[in-house]
Amino acid sequence: MSGTKNDGMPGAAGMMEPDEEETELLTVPNWKRTLSRWRRSFSRGWKLYKQSKAGLTGLTIMFIFVFMAVFAPWIAPYDLDFLAPQEDVFLADNVHEVIEANATLGLDDPASELWYPPVGYRGDQRLEEVIIYSDGGHALKFVVDDKAIEGGRGLQILSNSTHVIPQNITILLPTTFRNEHFTAFAGDTMYELTFDTFIVRAEVSLDFEPIWYSNLWNRWSPQNSEGEYLHSFANETTLAMCARIPPNPAYGEFREKRFYDIVTMDDFNETNGTTIIGEPIILNIPLVENGSMIVVPTTEGIAAIYLDYNKTGGRVRNVAIGEMLWYVTYEEIRDFWDRDSVEPIPNRPISIAKEHPSEPIGKDRIILATDSQFLYSVLRINGTNNWTSTLVTSSMREPRPMGIWPTFRGNLVVTGTTGELGFIASVDPETGSIRGNRTWYNMTGAPIVGRPDYIFSSRNYIFMTEAQQIVILKETMQLDATFQAVGGGTHTTISYVGNIVNNVGSAQGNYYSMVTVDAVLWVQSVSGTYTAPLPPGVYTSGNRYILGTDVFGGDIFTQLLYATRTELVVGLVAAVISAGLGTIVGLISGYYGGWVDTILMRLTDIFLTLPILVVALLLAAVLGPSIGNIILIIAIFSWAGVARVIRAQTLSLKNRAFIDAARVSGASNRTIILRHLGPNVLPLTFLYMVFTISAAIITEAILAFLGMGDPTATTWGMMLQFLQISGNTLTAPWWLLPPGLAITLLSLAFYLIGRAFDEVVNPRLRAR
């Protein structure tokens, strides 16, 4: 750690002989004279310095790095934010050619219609069909086949068909467990469309235009074990419910029954005057008395409304929205936890812990994400508070939860933003804290948009970011793969529609993405294996990655070059601050002596005795991750060694004749320190500054590696931290070696310069 290295050099005793000119006390500063004196002592020093081979080696290495830092944009083969193109990082078994939809599908002007993200139809085993639709009344359905390609891997869009759907549709939801039909909304009309041919099976005119729909993550609609489904939708004031009861031949019923019910928030005493601010969620536990309810987030609180099942025998006579089961206001939550504020985040304020259709047990809590960075959990059954969580970890500053997604593995996935980055964290629904402390979360380059997806077979989560990137994470939130949307374009919608074959695992599996672009309708299928991090070499695109790529497809060599800049800045600034601080403390302590000396030197002793790294980690955790803080931390913990040496030097200087002379001639203490002692300890200050640069570079790397680094900065330490997070430490030596070597070399360079310089300053070290 910084500072610790300084005392490796017993240079304290040695010193520069004070120049004779120093005795001319009353001269006004003469810049010409000073300059020429400096030049002389520099050339004298250089004559001695260049005798040291190690010193010259150090200088050479340093200049190479400085060159790299200065000319990084010209040397680097790519930009800093470059990511390897799809064709390099994605080993495609089959990239199906783009279909120009206007020609083949008879659409005159696809750009005039708003195309929604594709929807995949997944059968039991594999992806079978992909549907894209627009508000212009068009739905395109593609049959996909994974057997069409030789060897059974890869995917081909076999045939497509165009269907007419109701105009102005805003959402098309595959609403049952097996995608039996779609629920679609167009204005204030709700449609039920058959899955295969989009024929309208039912059409209901609502009295209002819904904004929020209760359909949940992974396109599972609330459906219970009896085969019925419940669906809820709302706008600001009105809440509606739709229940579909399947035919029950045991009672002579051969037609399914649908029930609709509409209420407004003003119908209930508790919520009178409040408005709805997010998706209503249906919790359907039909086997439990009072089990079915709609949970509605409003401006003032969360309302849980009972669903009234009117059953006689086994037959459902009616389903309607019943009474208010419980209502908990944000104020109550705030008072309960003694918080300043609990403002719910609109659109996605609540979620439930588990929602697998076949898993009624465990739907026991409702979790609320708020604007004030907190997550709250209330019990489903009565709305009482269960826990509150801040999601704090030391490396994620001010995480703002934006979405909560229940998973099938019993944990919650929380997405949100932390600064400019997005984050994804796996949260334990029992406690509300991030699972496994530091490992179960990850950060993405841009905030997450849309609903995340989950692949059962390979246990992967799939997210889309604002930067049109698909991010695939392992269940432990470690990065598995990312890929950029193909096509591009301003109105690109991108969607992951699933594994082609459900039982193929993780990065070796097949992914399928589909893109629609504004001018021409593109439909592209990609399947294959994600291969990043790439070993060094030339790839399909013709790009050469001299040192390979990282897991995102970023060029290691480019990052290495740009990181040199940060490293040099961190090293230099930290060293200047700490050497300056150390020199001031040393001068004051040495010159004044007495109690000032005692106190300052005890303090110095403490800093030298401290397991500095251990305390620095705490400081980093408290201050939060940023480059400025890291510089500050390094400076704070490395001045002590410098102070010690400067003090010793000051002590031996202060009894010299020229200091006495200065004092006699009436120079103030300040003048003596600044004008007479200062210049004489400057060579030592500079020497220890060089050693501190060396230590600072290593310290930065260690802090970064331990998760206290600045995630937005490119440094060698952060490169290694990303390597560690991505879990490729033992499999990507081309990623592991260069940053570490660079740290070693640059640190070594400054250390060698320091040693050679020490021999100049301290004649006793020179070879005799």
Which residues, 684 to 703, sit near other proteins by CB under 8 A?
Answer: 694, 698, 701-702
Q: How far is the CB of 403 from other proteins (least distance, A)?
A: 20
Give the E-state strand segments of 196-237 in sequence order.
Answer: 200-205, 212-213, 229-234
Taking CB under 8 A as the criterion, which residues in 144-163 touch other proteins? Answer: none
Choose between 210 and 641: whose C-beta lies nearer to other proteins.
641
For residues 738 and 536, give the distance between their C-alpha atoms in angstroms, rounded to a whole number: 12
Choose between 239 and 743: whose C-beta lies nearer to other proteins.
743
Q: How far is the CB of 392 from other proteins (least distance, A)?
A: 5
Q: How far is the CB of 436 from other proteins (least distance, A)?
A: 9
Q: How far is the CB of 59 from other proteins (least distance, A)?
A: 15
Q: How far is the CB of 744 from other proteins (least distance, A)?
A: 5
Choose between 436 and 488: whose C-beta lies nearer to other proteins.
436
Choose between 62 and 230: whose C-beta lies nearer to other proteins.
62
Task: Classify 298 as helix, strand or coil.
Answer: strand
Q: Is 730 left (phi over 0), alpha (psi -120 to 50) or beta?
A: alpha
Does residue 164 interact with other proteins by CB under 8 A?
no
Residue at token pair 């620095």? 616
Does residue 202 interact with other proteins by CB under 8 A?
no
Taking CB under 8 A as the criterion, which residues in 383-442 touch other proteins? Answer: 386-390, 392-395, 397-398, 430-434, 437-438
Q: Which two tokens stand for residue 662?
A: 């200065």
Does residue 16 interact with other proteins by CB under 8 A?
no
Q: What are phi and psi of 122, to 5 degrees?
A: -105, 120
Does residue 80 interact with other proteins by CB under 8 A?
no
Q: Which amino acid is at 416?
A: G
Choose between 37 and 397: whose C-beta lies nearer to other proteins.
397
Selected from 191, 212, 309, 751, the binder of other proteins by CB under 8 A is 751
Choose one: 183-191, 207-215, 381-389, 658-666; the region binding other proteins (CB under 8 A): 381-389
Is-contact 552 182, C-beta < 8 A? no
Choose between 489 and 740: whose C-beta lies nearer to other proteins.
740
Does residue 250 interact with other proteins by CB under 8 A?
no
Choose between 190 and 702: whose C-beta lies nearer to other proteins.
702
166-187 b/e (C-beta count within 10 Å ≥ 16 → b): beebebbbbbbbebbbbbbbbe
Q: How far is the CB of 701 from other proteins (least distance, A)?
A: 4
Taking CB under 8 A as the criterion, which residues in 706-735 touch other proteins? Answer: 706-707, 717, 720, 724, 729-730, 733
Choose between 76 and 708: whose C-beta lies nearer to other proteins.
708
For residues 299 and 701, give the distance between their C-alpha atoms in angstroms, rounded to a whole number: 47
Choose between 47 and 438: whose C-beta lies nearer to other proteins.
438
Q: How far is the CB of 756 from other proteins (least distance, A)?
A: 12
Give the E-state strand segments of 150-196 in sequence order.
Answer: 156-164, 171-174, 181-186, 189-194
For residues 764 and 11, give the distance between their C-alpha atoms in angstroms, rounded to a whole number: 9
Choose between 359 and 605: whose C-beta lies nearer to other proteins.
605
Choose between 158 and 622: whose C-beta lies nearer to other proteins.
622
Task: Classify 339 as helix, strand or coil.
Answer: coil
Task: Specify the DSSP element, H or E, that contains 751.
Answer: helix 733-761
For 724, other C-beta atoms within 10 Å of its C-beta total: 15
Does residue 7 interact with other proteins by CB under 8 A?
yes
Does residue 8 interact with other proteins by CB under 8 A?
yes
What is the distance in angstroms between the CA of the first residue and the CA of the last residue of the chain?
33
For residues 185 and 203, give the distance between their C-alpha atoms in angstroms, rounded to a whole number: 10
449-488 b/e (C-beta count within 10 Å ≥ 16 → b): bbbbbbbeebbbbbbbbebbbbbbbbbebbbbbbbbbbbe
Choose between 448 and 702: whose C-beta lies nearer to other proteins.
702
For residues 235 and 112, give the distance between their C-alpha atoms in angstroms, rounded to a whole number: 27
Q: How far is the CB of 732 from other proteins (least distance, A)?
A: 10
Choose between 324 and 608: whose C-beta lies nearer to other proteins.
608
Selected from 4, 284, 458, 513, the binder of other proteins by CB under 8 A is 4
Q: How far is the CB of 457 from other proteins (least distance, A)?
A: 27
Rg (CA), the chain: 34
Distance (Å) of CA 647 to CA 460, 561, 599: 60, 39, 13
For residues 718 and 12, give the distance between their C-alpha atoms in angstroms, rounded to a whole number: 36
Size, binding site for other proteins by CB under 8 A: 72
Q: How far is the CB of 654 from other proteins (least distance, A)?
A: 23
DSSP state of 114: P
Choose between 245 and 702: whose C-beta lies nearer to other proteins.
702
Distance (Å) of CA 235 to CA 129, 207, 229: 32, 11, 21
For residues 277 and 208, give the distance between their C-alpha atoms in angstroms, rounded to a whole number: 16
Does residue 332 interact with other proteins by CB under 8 A?
no
Q: How far is the CB of 430 from other proteins (least distance, A)?
A: 6
- 365, β-bridge pairs: 379
Is-contact 353 406, C-beta < 8 A? yes
Choose one: 102-110, 150-158, 179-187, 759-767; the region binding other proteins (CB under 8 A): 759-767
Q: Which two tokens stand for residue 559?
A: 């990052």
Q: How far is the CB of 309 from other proteins (least distance, A)?
A: 32
Taking CB under 8 A as the criterion, which residues in 585-644 touch other proteins? Answer: 602, 605-606, 608-615, 617-619, 621-622, 624
Q: How far is the CB of 590 from other proteins (least distance, A)?
A: 19
Q: Which two tokens stand for residue 176?
A: 């049952």
Selected from 21, 188, 337, 660, the binder of other proteins by CB under 8 A is 337
Q: How far is the CB of 585 from other proteins (least distance, A)?
A: 16
Does residue 527 interact with other proteins by CB under 8 A?
no
Task: Classify 24 as helix, strand or coil.
Answer: coil
Mask 278-317, x = binds other proteins (CB under 8 A)?
Answer: ----------------------------------------
Q: How far is the CB of 604 from other proteins (least distance, A)?
A: 12
Choose between 383 and 509: whose C-beta lies nearer to other proteins.
383
Does residue 381 interact with other proteins by CB under 8 A?
no
Mask 252-271, x = binds other proteins (CB under 8 A)?
Answer: --------------------
For 680, other C-beta atoms within 10 Å of its C-beta total: 20
Taking CB under 8 A as the criterion, which residues in 437-466 touch other proteins? Answer: 437-438
Helix spans in 90-182 (H): 101-104
Spatial CA neighbour of 236 closest among 270, 191, 190, 273: 273
Choose between 267 and 430: whose C-beta lies nearer to other proteins.
430
For residues 752 and 69, give the distance between their C-alpha atoms in angstroms, rounded to a whole number: 20
Q: Which amino acid is at 468?
A: Q
Does residue 532 interact with other proteins by CB under 8 A?
no
Q: How far is the CB of 626 from other proteins (least distance, A)?
A: 14
For residues 619 and 623, give the distance between their C-alpha atoms in angstroms, rounded to a whole number: 6
Q: How far is the CB of 393 from other proteins (least distance, A)?
A: 5
For residues 553 and 541, give the distance between their C-alpha atoms in angstroms, rounded to a whole number: 13
Axis crossing angle, helix 678-703 with helix 716-726, rounded to the nearest 10: 20
